[in-house]
């Protein structure tokens, strides 16, 4: 099957290897911190786990099998996160073996993963930051000017005809 990723195939393989080594001793924090930089590899893997689990819940076992195959091939480090005495994102062995027996040898032409696959932007770009700062300055300046204008027109002890 095919799927879209923010990473090229070689970069995805490199990131999987890096995460596998790093997460073997220190699994990623959960949940993300408020100002933590997003790990796009981890996000993509999480989308695929979610798509796989949703397919299982809907009874779409073959789709779940295909999504899991993508996970095992490209996001193995994510499946290897060990927490609370178990692999947090792996299918239970009995379910994986059952799906393997049912769909392991079946071709699935034209499979394209439907998991979310757009990049999430946690930090705005420079133009967005500067545009927001300028807009904020204009609003504050207009508010201050209006306030100053209103206070001089209605100063105490002064009659306005």
pLDDT tens sequence across 56-112:
999 999 989 989 998 999 999 999 998 888 888 999 999 999 999 988 877 767 777
Kindly tell me if the per-residue pLDDT of 13 is higher than 60. yes
Q: What is the pTM of this model?
A: 0.68
End-to-end CA gap in the chain: 80
Q: Which of 7-16, 22-31, 81-90, 91-100 has the lowest mean pLDDT?
A: 22-31
Q: Give yes or no for a contact between 88 and 123, defined as CB atoms under 8 angstroms apart.
A: no
pLDDT tens sequence across 113-161:
777 756 555 566 677 778 888 998 898 888 888 777 766 555 555 555 5
Q: Is the dihedral of CA 121, 126, 132, 133 positive or negative?
A: positive
């Amino acid at each position: 099957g095919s799927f879209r990723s923010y990473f090229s195939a070689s970069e995805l393989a490199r990131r999987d290897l890096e995460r596998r080594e790093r997460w073997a001793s220190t699994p990623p924090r959960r949940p993300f911190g408020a100002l933590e930089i997003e790990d796009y590899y981890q996000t993509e893997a999480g989308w695929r786990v979610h798509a796989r689990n949703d397919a299982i819940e809907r009874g779409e076992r073959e789709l779940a099998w295909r999504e899991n195959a993508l996970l095992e091939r490209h996001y193995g480090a994510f499946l290897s996160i060990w927490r609370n005495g178990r692999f947090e994102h792996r299918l239970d062995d009995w379910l994986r073996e059952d799906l393997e027996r049912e769909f392991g040898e079946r071709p699935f032409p034209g499979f394209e993963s439907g998991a979310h696959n757009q990049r999430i932007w946690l930090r705005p770009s420079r133009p967005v930051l500067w545009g927001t700062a300028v807009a904020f300055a204009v609003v504050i300046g207009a508010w201050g000017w209006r306030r100053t204008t209103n206070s001089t027109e209605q100063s105490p002890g002064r009659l306005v005809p």
